[in-house]
Amino acid sequence: MKVAIAQINYTIGDIEGNTSLILSSIEQAKHDHADLVVFAELAVCGYPARDLLEFTSFVKQCNDAISTIAKACTGITVIVGSPSFNEDKAGKPLRNSAYILSEGEIEFIQHKTLIPNYDIFDEYRYFEPNTVASTFRFKGQTIALVICEDIWYNDNDPLYQHCPLEQMKSDDPDLIIHIAASPFAHEFAQKRIDTISNKAKKYSCPIISVNHVGAQTDILFDGASLMVDANGNQLFQCNRFASDFRIIDLDEINSEEITEIDKYDMIYAGLVMGIKDYFGKLNFKSAILGLSGGVDSALVAVLLVDALGKENVTSVMLPSIYSSEGSVVDAEELINNIDCKSESISIKAVVDAVGNTLKGQFEGTESGIAEENIQARSRALLLMAMSNKFGHVLVNTSNKSESAVGYGTLYGDMSGGLSAIGDLYKTEVFELCEYINRDKEIIPRNIINKPPSAELRPDQQDSDSLPGYDVLDKILYNYIEKQKGPAEISALGIDAKLVAEILSLVNRNEHKRYQSPPVLRVSNRAFGLGRRMPIAGKFL
């Protein structure tokens, strides 16, 4: 039996476009003499479709698409994910379904059993869980079909009441097919492979897993569709962060060498894909960013040029009276290295105008945060004016460490249509820059080596307000990703008073993050939909 794996970059809500991609892959599978072609979970509508699923007309269009796809299934069988209406009177209105289509007909439907409702997942808002899972026969073989979360049932920590693979194991399946919409997170990539391998060993059955690829606003899908044998050995893996199409002859399959997973390989490729898809799926053409001479904006500039092309990126240096000569020189050197468009606009006149306008109101007060923020907001004003005039999208350059503790200015350096590195801690920013420079120096060494500074007052450094980033990021990681409390974090050897101060900053600045642009997600717990904290709350 020949099985085609179609790893496709779908667009949420573009039912017609997604259907066209599916039909093209079916024709390719026919050309390659495949017996079966497998697509991902909810391929027809894209994932996550969120409240589009509440429109009856939307789900009806998905049903019509299934009928269209079925008509193309002559001489070949297709497995494809799509929402369906729940025919039971009780429960949620929809099912998350996998359709088996053949010879113009719907031969079999498997509904998803385990409906996730954690982190970025809120499927239980829309979908009724299945309670009885059944195998189906194809080409003389018994196939168990499961949908994404269905393979994640954990006997030691059962989150769900039913395990679909346990229900189907009595049929002694010859093959498990797993269709998924499994988002990328660098700490999760190997865990996904291990989980699939462990399930293959447990049920002594090979598994084919087909995943989404591409970015859906903030959520990245890395693809990496794969097959493991009945002993859990990985036989092959599709490309990461790129569409792919593979034919597997189950009677003659040979294992391929699998590239070792590298954190910064994945993060860099994921961020470039995320930027490219955000612009492409929204039909944006060009980006603009403020280039400070610091490490964050330098990293974002490199990512934008790689994703969009140097001709579509405009970097703007916006020096103030506090900008050091070194920062200007460093920014110019970076521009020479990446060869993007560039401008230099002094913000002095804007800052002076605001200061003169508020002279009466500020009289008798000391210069402080308000004056610093006027500088940041003056930069945003100029960047957004250029964005409006020339159709550029302003890309934010804040990192996760700064966002966590509120080290940024609302309507200033926190502005933008997309946050490219908002899920990277500062220490990870430095490490990703080193990764970029692994073969030759692209980001000037001085940008990486010099002490970080917002340059909003004389001789300012981040260390004036924050602990060293190695300590800060350790606190933040354990609080945000690992959800440890102050006592647990202090037990790691960090001063309890410092821990309390940092966690207080994180909690007090939730209102800022609530107004931030969408963040490309590369970790298990990014700021955004997956971390839902109250703004007006009191904890710790």
Residues 199-246: tens digit of each pLDDT: 999 999 999 999 999 999 999 999 999 999 999 999 999 999 999 999
- Among 439, 464, 489, the domain-final residue is 464
Please indicate, yes or no, whether residues 153 and 205 belong to a single structural domain of this protein: yes
Q: Which of 45, 62, 73, 148 is catalytic?
A: 148
Q: Which of 41, 149, 402, 428 is catalytic?
A: 41
Q: Identify the weakest region by mean pLDDT among 111-125, 254-268, 405-419.
A: 254-268
Please indicate, yes or no, whether residues 312 and 437 belong to a single structural domain of this protein: yes
pLDDT in tens, 505-521: 999 999 999 999 999 99
Asked if residue 76 is part of any domain, the answer here is: yes
Please indicate, yes or no, whether residues 257 and 276 belong to a single structural domain of this protein: no
Number of domains in the chain: 2
Higher pLDDT, 118 or 277: 277
| pLDDT grade for 457, boundaries at 50, 70 and 90 | low
Helix (H, G, I), strand (E, B) or coil at 345: coil
User: pTM for the full model?
Assistant: 0.95
Asked if residue 527 is part of any domain, the answer here is: no
Give residue 391's pLDDT.
97
- Separation of alpha carbons 2 and 204, rounded Å: 21
**φ and ψ at residue 175, rounded to 5 degrees:** -155, 140
Asked if residue 482 is part of any domain, the answer here is: no
| pLDDT grade for 453, boundaries at 50, 70 and 90 | confident
Give residue 161's pLDDT.
83
Asked if residue 22 is part of any domain, the answer here is: yes
| pLDDT at 474 > cutoff 80 | yes
Q: In the chain, what percentage of residues exceed pLDDT 70?
A: 99
Q: Which of 2, 62, 112, 426 is catalytic?
A: 112
CATH number at residue 241: 3.60.110.10
Give, as one character, the DSSP assignment of residue 147.
Answer: E
Q: Is 112 a catalytic residue?
A: yes
CB atoms within 10 A of CB 264: 16
- Separation of alpha carbons 246 and 343, rounded Å: 46
Give residue 326's pLDDT.
79
- Among 206, 229, 261, the domain-final residue is 261
| pLDDT grade for 455, boundaries at 50, 70 and 90 | low
pLDDT in tens, 143-183: 999 999 999 988 777 788 889 999 999 999 999 999 999 99
| pLDDT at 261 > cutoff 90 | no
Strand ranges for 306-379 from DSSP E: 313-317, 341-344
Higher pLDDT, 529 or 23: 23
Give residue 454's pLDDT.
66
| pLDDT grade for 260, boundaries at 50, 70 and 90 | confident
Asked if residue 472 is part of any domain, the answer here is: no
CB atoms within 10 A of CB 172: 12
pLDDT in tens, 441-450: 999 999 999 8
Give, as one character, the DSSP assignment of residue 50.
Answer: G
Q: Is 62 a catalytic residue?
A: no
Please indicate, yes or no, whether residues 244 and 130 belong to a single structural domain of this protein: yes
Please indicate, yes or no, whether residues 70 and 152 belong to a single structural domain of this protein: yes
Please indicate, yes or no, whether residues 251 and 395 belong to a single structural domain of this protein: no
- Among 436, 464, 492, the domain-final residue is 464
Asked if residue 492 is part of any domain, the answer here is: no
Please indicate, yes or no, whether residues 64 and 175 belong to a single structural domain of this protein: yes
Give residue 195's pLDDT.
96
Please indicate, yes or no, whether residues 331 and 408 belong to a single structural domain of this protein: yes
Residues 362-373, mean pLDDT to the nearest whole number: 93
| pLDDT at 484 > cutoff 70 | yes
Q: Is 476 exposed, middle or buried (0-12, 13-18, 19+ CB in 10 A)?
A: buried
Give residue 538's pLDDT.
75
Asked if residue 430 is part of any domain, the answer here is: yes
CB atoms within 10 A of CB 530: 19
Residues 96-116, mean pLDDT to the nearest whole number: 97
| pLDDT at 403 > cutoff 70 | yes
Q: In the chain, what percentage of residues exceed pLDDT 90?
A: 88
Please indicate, yes or no, whether residues 183 and 327 belong to a single structural domain of this protein: no
CB atoms within 10 A of CB 253: 14
Residues 347-361, mean pLDDT to the nearest whole number: 96
User: Distances from the Cα of 525 to the Cαs of 183, 480, 511, in angstroms?
Assistant: 12, 7, 18
Which positions ≥6 away from 178 have C-beta within 8 Å? 146, 147, 148, 150, 151, 196, 207, 208, 209, 210
Asked if residue 355 is part of any domain, the answer here is: yes
Q: Average model confidence (pLDDT) for the chain?
A: 95
CATH number at residue 345: 3.40.50.620
Strand ranges for 195-348 from DSSP E: 207-210, 213-216, 219-222, 226-228, 234-237, 244-249, 286-290, 313-317, 341-344
Please indicate, yes or no, whether residues 171 and 289 belong to a single structural domain of this protein: no
Q: Is 450 a catalytic residue?
A: no
- Separation of alpha carbons 294 and 292, rounded Å: 5
**Residue 122's domain spans which residues?**
2-261
Q: What is the dihedral of CA 217, 125, 181, 200, to 10 degrees?
A: 160
Please indicate, yes or no, whether residues 222 and 341 belong to a single structural domain of this protein: no
Could you give the count of Cα atoms lying within 13 Å of 102 in the half-sphere of its Cβ? 16
Region of 172 on the Ramachandran plot (φ > 0 left; ψ -120 to 50 alpha; else beta): left
Give residue for tokens 């990486």.
Answer: 448
Please indicate, yes or no, whether residues 356 and 321 belong to a single structural domain of this protein: yes
pLDDT in tens, 428-439: 999 999 999 999
Residues 111-116, mean pLDDT to the nearest whole number: 96
